[in-house]
């Protein structure tokens, strides 16, 4: 019923507008083309300035309402993020100046030079000097932005410092898997045909000695504040994207082609909760590449903690090898025949 009513109202509004428009056409014919054109010019000329003024008021209001909800207001949580924010600010200033100048000129000219039968238009077909000015000035401004941008770009995509902690991130429909290399700091090899969703979600080759202490976790990744984190990204099925809003970075996770990214977090999750005044604050990993119908729910978390807490957490983690082969787990089976263990391991 409400649907019917609202449709009826909309139709009615259409009919009314249409009838008024038609009537105004008859009026303009009666008044004569010249007179009605002048009237239309006056109205639209006024609306041009009104639009300009209201537009700037609107931008102000919009900024007032929503700036506080953006990441800029909150501040970045990585050294990379701080550089991005700084660059956003510089770009905003430069493009903002151009925006204001051009929009003001556009609407002001439209208002100022609306048809006036007394004005003789200025036959002005070209001016090399003017054209050179607005070729060179943008070119200079852009050079500044390019230089600034590329310095950051090479820093972001360059090699991380030597002390970086490495975590492997694998996307799947629709979740994240994290692998830590364990004590040996080297990942065991993997091959996608070994994937077993229950015990070996990334397809680790267990015959590889380095794989024995690899640790797998899902959904939540722990990292240490102040330590450079290098992520090696991959995907099991379709292309995903590791979006780290608070660190101002993202990188695709592509099946078959590993990609990397690195960042240095500067606040722990707890510090960020205090800084933002939001006790529920979490560093969320959002999937930023369309990956299927569950795309919007593909969430991971990053717990940024200090070294102490990280060590505590790490101590509690059990190598995935023991999940895959519970009988090999020394903690689960306290007494074990060491000769039998060796015999079952098949070399690569």
Partner 1 sequence: MSHEAALHEGHGHDDHGHHEHHDTFLTKYVFSQDHKMIAKQFLITGMVWAVLGGLMSVLFRLQLGYPDASFPWLESILGKWAKGGQITPEAYYALVTTHGTVLVFFVLTAGLSGTFANFLIPLQVGARDMASPFLNMLSYWFFFIASIIMLSSLFVETGPFSGGWTAYPPLSALHDASPGSKTGMDLWIIAMALFVVSSLLGGLNYITTILNMRTKGMSMTRLPLTIWALFFTAVLGVLSFPVLLSGMILLIFDRNFGTSFYLSDIYVNGVGALSNEGGSAILFQHLFWFLGHPEVYIILLPAMGMVSEIMSVNSRKPIFGYMAMLGSLFAIAILAFLVWAHHMFVTGLNPLLGSVFVLLTLLIAVPSAIKVFNWLTTLWRGNIRFTPAMLFAIGFVSLFISGGLTGIWLGNAALDIYLHDSYFVVAHFHIVMGVASMFGMFAGVYHWFPKMYGRYLNNSLGYIHFWITMAGAYLIFWPMHYQGLAGMPRRYFDFSIWESFKQFAELNRFISTIAMIVFATQILFLINFFYSIFKGRKVTVLNPWESNTLEWTTPIRPGHGNWPGEIPEVHRWPYDYGKDGHDFIPQTTPVGEDETGTH
Which residues, 157 to 176, sit near partner 1 by CB under 8 A? 157-158, 172-173
| 176 Cβ contact list (under 8 Å, min separation 6) | 169, 170, 218, 219, 221, 242, 285, 298, 300
Q: Is 245 in the site for partner 1 (CB under 8 A)?
A: yes
Nearer to partner 1, 291 or 328 (CB): 291
* Alpha helix positions (H), 159-277: 269-276
Q: Is 3 in the site for partner 1 (CB under 8 A)?
A: yes
Nearer to partner 1, 122 or 337 (CB): 122
Tokens representing 27 are: 């009026």
DSSP 328: G
Length of the chain: 348
- Regarding beta strands 229-235 and 165-172, do their DSSP bridges make them parallel or antiparallel, or are they unpaired? parallel
Of 241, 262, 265, 305, the residue at the interface with partner 1 (CB under 8 A) is 241
Question: Which x/- pattern over 48-87 shows residues binding partner 1 (rule: CB under 8 A)?
Answer: x--x---x--xx--xx--xx-xxxx--------x-xx--x
In the range 93-112, which residues lie near partner 1 by CB under 8 A?
94-95, 98-99, 102-103, 105-107, 109-110
In the range 308-347, which residues lie near partner 1 by CB under 8 A?
none
Q: Is 274 in the site for partner 1 (CB under 8 A)?
A: no
Nearer to partner 1, 87 or 164 (CB): 87
Axis crossing angle, helix 128-157 with helix 79-112, rounded to the nearest 10: 160
Tokens representing 53 are: 């003024």
Of 49, 79, 82, 91, the residue at the interface with partner 1 (CB under 8 A) is 91
> CA 82 → CA 219, 225, 229, 264, 313, distances in Å?
26, 15, 16, 11, 28
Of 49, 88, 205, 324, the residue at the interface with partner 1 (CB under 8 A) is 88
Number of shown-chain residues binding partner 1 (CB under 8 A): 125
Q: Is 24 in the site for partner 1 (CB under 8 A)?
A: yes
What values do phi and psi take at 97, rounded to 5?
A: -60, -45
């Amino acid at each position: 019923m409400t649907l019917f009513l609202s449709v009826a109202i909309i139709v009615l509004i259409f009919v009314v507008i249409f009838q008024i428009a038609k009537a105004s056409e008859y009026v303009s014919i009666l008044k004569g083309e010249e007179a009605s054109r002048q009237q239309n010019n006056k109205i639209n000329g006024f609306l041009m300035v009104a639009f300009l003024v209201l537009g700037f008021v609107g931008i102000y209001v919009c900024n007032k309402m929503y700036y506080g909800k953006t990441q800029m207001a909150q501040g970045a949580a990585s050294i990379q993020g701080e550089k991005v924010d700084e660059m956003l600010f510089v770009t905003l200033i430069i493009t903002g100046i151009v925006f204001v100048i051009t929009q003001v000129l556009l609407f002001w000219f439209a208002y100022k030079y609306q048809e006036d039968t007394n004005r003789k238009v200025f036959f002005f077909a070209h001016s090399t000097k003017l054209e050179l000015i607005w070729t060179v000035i943008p070119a200079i401004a852009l050079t500044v932005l390019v230089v600034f941008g590329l310095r950051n770009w090479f820093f972001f995509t360059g090699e991380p410092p030597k002390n970086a902690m490495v975590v492997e991130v694998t996307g799947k429909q629709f979740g994240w898997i994290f692998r830590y290399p364990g004590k040996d700091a080297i990942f065991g090899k993997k091959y996608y045909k070994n994937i077993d969703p229950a015990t070996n979600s990334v397809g680790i080759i267990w015959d590889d000695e380095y794989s024995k202490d690899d640790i797998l976790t899902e959904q939540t990744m722990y990292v240490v504040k102040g330590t450079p984190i290098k992520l090696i990204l991959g995907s099991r099925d379709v292309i995903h994207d590791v979006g780290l809003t608070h660190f101002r970075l993202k990188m695709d996770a592509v099946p078959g082609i590993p990609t990397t990214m690195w960042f240095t977090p500067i606040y722990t999750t707890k510090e960020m909760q205090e800084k933002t005044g939001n006790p529920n604050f979490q560093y969320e990993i959002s999937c930023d590449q369309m990956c299927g119908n569950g795309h919007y729910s593909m969430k991971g978390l990053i717990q940024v903690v200090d070294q102490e807490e990280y060590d505590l957490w790490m101590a509690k983690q059990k190598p995935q090898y023991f999940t895959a082969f519970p009988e090999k787990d020394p903690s689960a089976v306290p007494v074990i025949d060491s000769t039998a263990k060796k015999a079952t391991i098949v070399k690569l």
